Amino acid sequence: MKRAVIFFDKFLVCLIILPIIALFGCNLVTNTDTYEYVDMSPRQISITNNVDTVNLVENVKSAVVGIACSVSGGYSIGSGVAIREGGYILTNEHVISGAKNITIYFADKTNAVATLVWKDKSQDLAVIKSSKDMPYLVCSNEAPRTGEDIIAIGTPLSLDFKHTVTKGIISAINRTVELENSNGTISYMQNLIQHDASINPGNSGGPIINYKGEVVGINTLKASEAEGIGFAIPISIGSSIVKNVSQDVNWKSSYMGIFSLDNDVAYFKGNNIDFSQKGVFVAGIDQNCESKNCFKNGDIILEINNVKINSVLDLRLEIYKYSSGDILNIKLIRDGKEMEIRYNLQEKM
């Protein structure tokens, strides 16, 4: 598996965009947009039948926002999409990381402030809440299909280009991307959706949408050494999180204290396991929590409370059903033998 070189880590307008703006004599936020009526009344946007691209965009764009955050050294630019009533917007964690304030820009050329509700760097996801209610989209409850048509809507490069639409297909699913962190360590993003809709810095946090008007994923990164290879986080993760935080603003994701890999990924990284074995491989353990007393490197998690776990995505979705303090019955394979353990979920700090 080749390492992808990623450039969506942080998009600072003052460092990257302002020299371009000075060259072409543009403003950061254009004031020359012609008026275009957009229905921003709060509602769930539903499309009963497949539509063409023009009508799809007309229907869904009111639920997508551009995001500008003031951070140390300038502005971070990104995108987001509302997926629940009350102005709950899903975006990337790296878009709002270190934000002193958050401004969101709507399709009707107005704007509002937003507050941070939840974030998780390891998932590269965050939930912000708009001060103004707005339309929201339905999340797809079906697994994405390779070859499926999608559009991406976002804010590439600067706020001048907010609500830019590109079109593509889902190129593959369940992709794993290897990332080199700033401290020299290696981490992985797994179960990603690969697509070929054009995305650039600033598209981070924006949605890919199918032709039913449903959110399929949240753009997070792209390969810089290739064209048409972008990656999105499956919406099943984000929709579960937004549901939890909208019901309890103090909700925090629970923590198993392990770093895990899909079994096939673990196999190709040189671990001596059965390639065909379903489950999730425990590749690392947080030594500062209870996990060190429950798990061992090399464990393969098979089930949680009788629910089969075939991938890291399955594991995360199952954990989000529970709260810190809940007891999980976990079936796993250790040293070639099947066994069960009980684990007390902890709160992720």
User: Which residues carry out catalysis?
Assistant: 94, 124, 204
Element housing 124 (H / E): none
Longest dimension (CA), the chain: 67
* Cβ atoms 139, 246 nearer than 8 A: no
Produce one character per residue of 128-147: b if its CB has 16 or more CB atoms within 10 Å, e if not.
Answer: bbbeebbbbbbbbeeebeee
**DSSP structural state of residue 18:** H
* Cβ atoms 133, 85 nearer than 8 A: yes
- Classify strands 280-285 and 258-262 as parallel, antiparallel or unpaired: antiparallel
| Per-residue tokens: 279 | 């489950």
- Classify strands 300-304 and 111-120 as parallel, antiparallel or unpaired: unpaired
In the numeric block, the tokens 């060259």 are attached to 23
Query: What is the distance between the alpha carbons of residues 12 and 249, in angstroms, rounded to a whole number?
Result: 29
Neighbours of 72 (CB within 10 A): 9
User: Is 173 strand, coil or helix?
Assistant: strand
> What Å distances lie between residue 32 and 68, 243, 348, CA to CA?
19, 38, 45
